[in-house]
Amino acid sequence: MNANVIRYSFLFVLLICLGSWGEKAHRKINVSCVNFFPTEISKLKSWGPILGEHASDADFRKKNDKTEFVKHFIDIDNYEDFVNSQRIEENFGAACNKYGREKVIKDGTLPWVTDSTYQALVQDFKSENWERAALTAADLGHYVGDGFMPLHLTANYDGQLSEQTGIHRRYEETMIDKYIDQISFKTSTVKKVTSVKSYIFRYIYNNYSYIGSLLQADSRAYELAGNQYNDIYYENLWGKSRLYTVQLLQYSSKTLAELIYTAWIEAGKPTLPD
């Protein structure tokens, strides 16, 4: 079995087992997004419980849908263009032509799936299918959330390339679940997104920059805990990553709100139901 097959198989198992950010974090991202809604779509604040309840539906689908798991990540540093210029070809068709469709699929389709889910939400709004729109928005929130989890953006997704294997679950699930009650968001106003696809890629490029800090925090926390993954380790990991972790979760929630608001505008501002 060659290295690529081993790596791909390991990633498949990892993503099946993990809840990407963990269910509690995804729920918080989705539920909290309604607090960012402007007055124009204030009626959609009633979506909060639905968005939260279905925040991890996309993860659950991975068990039965073999095409789902590549939608939750992009190993963007596997692209030479990104290594050299910090960006890649953003059009899916052009990316497949330039890099090869097999590579694009294998390295993850997260930004493109986020965009296609947004487009599906626009259509749901146009058809005024509010029940389906809420579920589509919940999926959109999940993919947006994955785009704000740095380890979903790198080939070193589980620290296996830096001798920190297991960091994925330690950070996004165990630590977050442990400190979720200490996480609160500061709300602010949202505005219409002018170019959705570029907007999605822009936050992915930006969130990639947190990987180094996260790996460093994990390494230092492990050292301070006497080379054990105990309570002392998690206390230090939280202490060293708390600022940007809360920021990533908060911006994820605000981004979801902006995309929902923009989808409603693009759909022609259909009258919202009571």
Residue 22's pLDDT band, with cuts at 50, 70 and 90, is confident
Report the distance separating Cα 143 and Cα 21, nearest Å.
11
Pick the CATH number of 3-266 from 3.40.50.720, 1.10.575.10, 1.25.40.20, 1.10.472.10: 1.10.575.10
Name the percent of the chain in helix, strand, coil, to the closest 5: 70, 0, 30
Helix (H) or strand (E) holding 264: helix 231-266
By CB neighbour count within 10 A (0-12 exposed, 13-18 middle, 19+ buried), where does 85 fall? exposed
Q: pLDDT digit string (tens) for 54-72?
A: 999 999 999 999 999 999 9
Q: pLDDT digit string (tens) for 208-230?
A: 999 999 999 999 999 999 999 99
117: helix, strand or coil: helix
- Each domain of the chain, given as residue ranges in start order, spans 3-266
Q: Which of 1-5, 159-163, 210-214, 215-219 has the lowest mean pLDDT?
A: 1-5
22-32 and 231-266 helices, crossing angle to 10°? 40
The pLDDT value recorded for residue 269 is: 98
Length of the chain: 274
Which two structure tokens, joined as six digits, stand for 267? 């759909």
Q: What dihedral do alpha carbons 137, 140, 144, 147 form, nearest 10°?
A: 170
Query: Under the phi-then-psi rule, with left for phi > 0, alpha for psi from -120 to 50, and beta for the rest, what region is 20?
Result: left
Q: SS3 string of 179-225?
A: HHHHCCCCCCCCCCCCCHHHHHHHHHHHHHCCHHHHHHHHHHHHHHC
Across 106-127, average pLDDT: 98
Query: For residue 5, is pLDDT > 90?
Result: no
Across 122-126, average pLDDT: 98
Write down the residue that tokens 């947004």 correspond to: 118
